[in-house]
Structures are given as structure tokens and as C-alpha cells.
Structure 1
Amino acid sequence: MKSTIKFITAFLFLMTLLKSCVQKEEIDPIATICNSEEVVANTTFGEVKSLYQGEILQIQDDLIIEGYITSNDKAGNFFGTLHFQDLPQNPGEGFQINIDLRASHLFFGEGSKVLIKLRGLYLGNRNGVFEIGGVFTNAGGGLSIGRLPATQIRSHILTSCDMPQKITPSLTSLEELNDTMLNTLIQLRDIEVDPRDICQSFAVPQERTERQLRDCNGNKIILNNSGFSDFQEEIMPSGSGEITGVLGKTGNDYQLTIRDISDINFNDERCNGFVFPCDETIATTSDRIFFSELADPDNNSGARFIELYNSGDVAVNLNGWEIRRYTNDNTTISSTIDLTGFIIQNGATFVIAADASEFENVYGFAPDFNGTANGPAGSNGDDNFELVDANGVIVDIFGIIGEDGSGTNHEFEDGRAVRLRDVVRGNPIYTFSEWRIYNDTGGAETINMPQNAPESYTPGER
């Protein structure tokens, strides 16, 4: 009996030992070289890239490049790719290799020096991003660069025993970005989240999600986030500051991928000084916001204004909302008003003046927003308007885009267009029956009765 127990114990110990060895082999496919004279870089990134002539090719020569890892998949924002650059500081170029290996940061830490044996690998260029790896036939029947199988990684990617180097991100600006920076680590300053993405999570669960960043000059870049990342549920920061990440490209647009959330430091005031509270009791879109009054007084063009009204039960954050004006019969936008930074309370109006000073002189109170004479609020009554939310959805419209308002049922020249009180929602299709319109012609069932300020208008009232 004792001998049987000893045999079983020994058997279980042996199986456990074998299992641990197999598991180690499965997760440790990377070869390490130390001061080997047999494996040294013999070509440059630029020389390898020059082999590409418009079509994916398999590299036949015994070429070896070396570089320093810039990416890190520990937080789950990178998957199936390694990004590396030619120098740890002030790099000239970057590269990408696609690999079928999870938790690659355990083998290729940031700043690690790697040597890539290129013979047998495939080289391609997607939107200016040079990548190497395996190959597969895509849906269109052509070739695409795919992930190098885990079983082949040991044969092509070697890690050096040199101590990892500190990768210093290249400080640059959105205006200075160019393709030589692709796959390298960069840092941008004075950057903020676009108002349309404030109060949103970094990513939709289990989906690759693009968020917009911008600088103080309005230049934009895509922030590429994984729905599987550790910080997927975190809310995008509302301030401004610096961000570090690996530069990529989608189509003609540059994109940035951070390694983890510590790559973002947006603790400074935003470019325009606005503060955006992410309050669950405040909506970010609603069809209860609509045009309620448009004014072009016959006696005073300086008293022109546009009024919005919120008929809903909750306040609405107007971050990313805008009013678009289409002058006369134009089909392209003539001017806009960015409503970012304002909240319209439930049951309240929001008045935009063409001239704030003159508006206050005439009506006795200050408007909520000071527009310009050439902006939407400065219309002379024959233009068309759209109210657009942060998602680009047309919430409400006045007039017919492409049709000059003169003589039509959407002309309010020298007059007034006022929304009927039983209208409680925006309408993305112009509907004349929702309006009472005064002008100086009376065409198309409108009312020929020019209006004078202040007595003919009710800004701030609904």
C-alpha cells in the first residue's frame, strides 16, 4: 500500500514538473543573445523600407535591423503588434512588426533592444505605416501583412542582453507631424479632448474606439483606444496638457495610441478656459432643443438675434453643438456658432445676439451669447439654419438648404420667425406649419407685417 502511494505521489510530481516546463515553453518563445558577433544589424530602417515598391513582398536576403521597443501591451491598449524605433532618443524612423503573441511586454519591455532577422518575413506599407510580419489573403483576394505565428517568433526576433534604454519621446506639435515619426514615441503639449468626446469613456466595451484630440489652434488628431484596455471605462479628462504615445495613421489622418492612462496629463485649464462638468443629471444631446425665435427688426439690424429653447425635463450640455448658417441659396456652410461651454437649463431659453451691446440697449438685458454681424445671428432674413448636436446629428432646421428665402415660406426679412407654442421638439425637416412668420413681402402664406424692436419681439421668453 505504501509503495503504491509513493508511486502515485512521484507520478503526480513528475506530471506537475512536465506541465510547468510546457507552460514555460509556451510563454517563453523568445531567444536572447548576449554580445554575439553572429547576429548584428547589417542594414537600416530606410534601406529596408526602400525595398517596398508598391506591393507586399517577401524579403529574401539575410537582412537584420535593430531597434528599441516603444509600445507596451500591459494595459491592453496594444494587441498583436510591436512598435520600435531606430534610436532611444531623437529617432529618425520607426517600424512595426505584427506578432501572434499575448502579453508581449513580458518579453519586449519598453526600451528593450531587439534584432529582427528579416529573411522570410513580408514587408508592406499601409497608409504610410511600414510593417513586417506574416502574410494572409484578404477578402479582396490580395495579400495583407498578418501576424507572425508564435512558433516563428524565436526565429526572427531576438532580444539583446543590453540594459533597456530610457525612451525619450520626441516633443512635437500637430502641425509638425510627418510620416518619418510613425511608430515612434512622441509627446504633444497643450492638447485637450474635443468637446464632442468630453464626458465619454475612453472606449466602447470590446470595440476599438476613436476619440478626438485637438490643440489650441483647432488642429486635430485621433486617439486610438481599445475596448479591452484596463482603462476602457475611465472618463476622458476635461482639462488640457501633455500626452505621450506611439504615432500611427488611419487613411490620411494621424492617430495616437497611449501605452496606459499615465501617458495623459490633462490637469491644466482648457484653451478657452471653459470647464466641463460631467454630471449625469445633464444630458449631452436632446431633440428638445430647438429654434424658438429668429429676429431681423425692420428698424434696427443691430438688434438681430437667434433664440433657442429647451422644452425638456433636464438641462443639456451644449459642448460640441453648433448653429450653421447657409446664406441665401448656398449649399455649403457660410458661418457657424460653436456653443461649446454652455448649458441650457430645462424650460429655459438661450439667446444669441448679432451685437451684444446693441441688443442690451434695445431689449434691456444682456444676451447669453455674443455673436457677430456676419454670423448666424446676423442674418437678414433670407438664410437657412441648422442646429447640430455634438454627434453631428441635425436636431432642428429652419428653411430649406439651397433655396434663397426671398419670397418663400421661410423668409423673415425685416420681420420675425417665431415657433408655435405647441411645438416641443426639434425637427430636422423644415415644416412651415410649426412657425408664424412675419416679413415685408407676405409671400407663400407668410404675414406681410414688418416688425420693430423692441416691441415686436420676446427674446428670453417662451
Structure 2
Amino acid sequence: MNIKMRNVLAVIALMATVFISSCRKDDFDTPPAGGSDPGLIATTTIADLKAGYVAGNFDSIDTDIVISGVVIADDKSGNFYKTIVLQDSTGGIAIRIDISDYYTKYPIGRRVFVKCKGLWLGDYNELIQLGGYVDNSNPSQPSVEPIPYTLVDNYLFPGIYNLTVNPKLVTINQVLADPDFYQNTLIQLNQVEFADADTGKTYADMVLQQSSNLVVKNCSGGSIELRSSNFATFGGDNVPNGNGSLVSVFSVFGSDAQLYIRDVYDVAMDTTRCAGNPPPPGAGVNETFSSQTSGSDISLAGWSNTAVVGNRYWRAAVFSGDTYAQATAFGSSLPNMESWLITPAFDLATADTLTFRSSWGFFVHNGLSVWISTDYDGVNFASATWTQLTCTLAVQADGQYVWIPSGNVPLTAFSGNSAHIGFKYSGDGTTNTTTWRIDDVIVK
């Protein structure tokens, strides 16, 4: 790879093309299913692209290099601004683009190919970035600037949708020990919580209208910062005060390690804190799944999506504008499949009635059942006690895609301070392949 510094005239030429390039706007509310790749082939990996870079240098790329990766962070929630984060099997990179609401074209889970020739590789305080040109207006602090919006289509080529990037399960110590390796990749920390001093705060400072850094710690004394923008849709939400898991994009700012969540669904902290104080259960549950992305595994704050047998999870789907959760063994080679979608904890003293809707597709078996637990801690599924509930579920005679109300399912017979509801799907890839759907889960 031949990467070298170009004359500043290259920057001027790039900017001049902004005024002679034609504009194109691609609008759609819901990403089409599947999509297709553009016929490009990645010629190098993200790790190899970054391998020779030295912090503080700004290198122009003048060879025909193509990388590809899956979008792991977009701007839908507002926590990422004009920066798209791609990850392949070797690493991740941030690409600056001068487009707002780009999640409509480059949503999380979509593969994107990038023609790198003509772009610049630089860093923002050691966070490596690709951009359109270098701003040298402040010679002591040059910066890689976004690709002008009229030129983005010359460099970024979207491909298929609904690809899953599983976060790397790591510890705080691991990412702090090798920040270059984890930079701009999706990671998951388990058994972590917000510091005591931050549990009463919101993700961002909405009073002063500024971003906030909050401390996330484990029970061994390790800690790392979570940074959230005041422009994020969740900026005014209170952080949870329990212990659990955190999925985030790992970033750096100089010597400081930072985490960025995509939305609150990345945070699931509803179990006992390190100090031994369990978080208070919620007053109830009211979930329509409308915040979920069709074709992606259900990921909601406080909810557990667990593959007990096999490797399939409950996923979001959309039909006639309605988003719901569904599970199916159809199209798999699994000899057995068991997947659970479990609600956050709720207070039995104030919420004692469950309602929801169910439906099926391509009926061959009864694979949906509903359960309750008063001792599930949000993490250790196998050690919890589950009791099956009696409720009305869709049956074959109801017909395909017909939503059937569960009726009022009483929970007053169960004692304890809190409880979780679990929706269990069981099947296999050979004969028991019915698709089962649930929606409008309410406990009040």
C-alpha cells in the first residue's frame, strides 16, 4: 500500500469538486429486506489499512484500496454525529461523512464498501479516522474533515442489510491494556455498573446542554468512562442503578479510554450491585418493540434475549407497519432450539396482570409458552425457578398472521418483591419450525 502526504492543492481540488458534483437523495423509512452488495471486493482489511499509521500524521491514500465492513454505529439516536463506524473481522474504523440522518441509508447491520483512494487517514487525538480532506487552518491542530455530502457516493457503496456483528466479550482491564486493538469495535462488558456517584444522573447533562462522562466500574475496582452526547435521544434518561452488561463502541481520546452506546438498548443493568443492593424493580412493563430494527435480534434495556439451546434468538420483524418480536427454527439446521425473551423485573405489589398478543406463521407445531420467575436475577437463567402461566395463545384454527389477545393473565398468586415474565420458543430445524410472534407486552 502506497500512502503518502499530498500537496495541499489536493485538498483544494477535492473541495472544488463539491460545487460541480450533482446531488442525489435516497429516502426510505424502513430499510428494504436483504439488499445486495455492489459487486466490489475488499482488497485489504481495516487492520491492514491502519497498520502503518502514526498518530499525528495525516496520510492521503493514492492507491486503489477497497475495504468493507458492517456498520456498528449510526446516527439514529444522535450519539454519533456525522461519523459512521465500520467493523470487519480484523478491526474497526470511523469514517467522517457530511450527512445527517445517514442511518436511513447506512443503518446498523448494513455492509458498506469503501473506495479509499482520494481519502485521508488521520486521527482525532489518537482516534483513527477516514475523511475527505485535512483542515490546516490551525497548523498546530490539523484535523481530518468529513467527506462532503455530494462526494460520499463516490467513496461509500452500501451492500446487504441485517448482518450481525457480535460484540467481543471483554473485561475493562483487557481493553485498557490494548486500546489500539479494540478501537472502534463493538465490545461487551459483563458484571459492570455505574459508579455510586453517577447512579442518580442522566446520560448527558441536559441542564447545561453538554455531553457527560460517567464512570462504569466492575466489582474488582476497574473503571472506564461512558461518554454520551446531549444531542442523543436518550441524553435525558436516568442511568440504571443495577449491575449487568454494557455493549458499546470502544473509543479513545488521547490517553483516555471511552465507551459510546448506540442507544439505551445497549445497557442491561437490573441485577444486584457489587455492594449487594439489588436495583428496585420497575412499576410495570409496557413494550411494543417499535424501537427495534427489523431483522435484528431483540435488544432492549433490562430485557434478556437468551439462546438456551442452539444459536438463534428472538428477532424483530415488521408487517404492515407493525414491529413485533418473533422466533423461529425455520431454515436452521438445529436439532433443537430453545430461545427465551425475558422482561425486565417488575414490582408484583403494583403490577399483577399480564397482557400481550400472539400470532403464528406457517404452522406445524405449538412452540410458544409463557413463564414467570420470582428469583431470576437477570443473568443466571439456569438457576432460576420458572412456572408456566395459563393464557390464551394463537392456535392453528385462528389462521396465519392473526393477532390473538392473551386475555388478562393474573399474577397475584406469586409471592416475592419482583418477577420476570419469560416467553419461551422451542422447536427444531426439521419438523417443528413454526414462526411464533408476540407484541404489546404489558404488565400493570
Matched, 1:221 2:189: no
Identity, % of aligned positions = 29
Measured in 2, the distance between the counterparts of 1:238 and 1:50 equals 40
* Aligned partner letter, 1:97: I
Matched, 1:154 2:148: no
Judged with a 3 Å threshold, the aligned counterparts in structure 2 of structure 1 residues 212 and 138 are, in CA distance, closer, same or farther, namely farther
Q: How many equivalent residue pairs? A: 247
**In the aligned structure 1, how far is the partner of 2:161 from the partner of 2:239?**
35
Distance 2:279 2:247 in 1: 23
Q: 1:192 to 1:36 in 2, by over 3 A?
A: closer
Alignment of 1:39-118 (within 5 A): 39-54=40-55, 55-87=57-89, 92-118=90-116
2:266 is matched with 263
With over 3 angstroms needed to count, the CA separation of the structure-2 counterparts of 1:237 and 1:152, relative to structure 1, is: same
1:47-446 pair list within 5 angstroms: 47-54=48-55, 55-87=57-89, 92-134=90-132, 135-160=134-159, 162-177=160-175, 178=178, 179-205=180-206, 206-274=209-277
Q: Matches of 1:61 and 1:125 in 2, distance apart? A: 20
Structure number with higher relative contact order (C-alpha < 8 Å, ≥ 6 residues apart): 2
Greater strand percent: which structure? 2
Tell me: CA distance 1:215–1:93, structure 2 relative to 1, closer, same or farther (3 Å): same
Output the amino acid matched with 1:99.
I
TM-score by length of 2: 0.52
Q: What corresponds to 1:298 in structure 2?
A: none
Alignment check: 8 A CA contact 1:41 1:115 kept: yes
Alignment gaps of 5+ in structure 1: 1-23, 278-462
AA matched with 1:25: R
Q: Tell me the secondary structure at the aligned position of residue 236 of structure 2.
A: coil
Cα distance in 1 for partners of 2:54, 2:168 equals: 29
Give the conservation status (yes or no) of the 8 Å contact 1:246–1:258.
Answer: yes
Which consecutive unaligned segments of at least 5 residues does structure 2 have? 1-22, 29-33, 281-444
Structure with bigger gyration radius: 1
Paired amino acid for 1:72: D
Q: Distance in 2 between matches of 1:81 and 1:125?
A: 13
How far 1:36 sits from its partner (Å)? 4.9
Q: Structure 1 residue 275: deviation in Å?
A: 6.3
Provide the rounded CA distance (Å) in 2 between the counterparts of 1:35 and 1:70: 17
Q: Deviations over 1:325-353 (max 9, x none)?
A: xxxxxxxxxxxxxxxxxxxxxxxxxxxxx
Once the 2 structures are TM-superposed, how far is the Cα of residue 45 of structure 1 from its aligned partner?
1.7
CA RMSD of aligned residues (A): 2.5
Q: Is the alpha carbon distance of 1:33 and 1:264 closer, same or farther for their aligned partners in structure 2, counting shifts above 3 Å?
A: closer
Deviation at 1:247, TM superposition (A): 0.6
What letter is aligned with 1:102? S
SS in 1 for 2:24: helix
The structural deviation recorded for 1:47 is: 2.4
Letter in 1 for 2:192: I
CA contact (8 A) 1:111 1:164 kept: yes
Q: Is the 8 A contact 2:172 2:223 kept in 1?
A: yes
TM-score, normalised relative to structure 1: 0.50
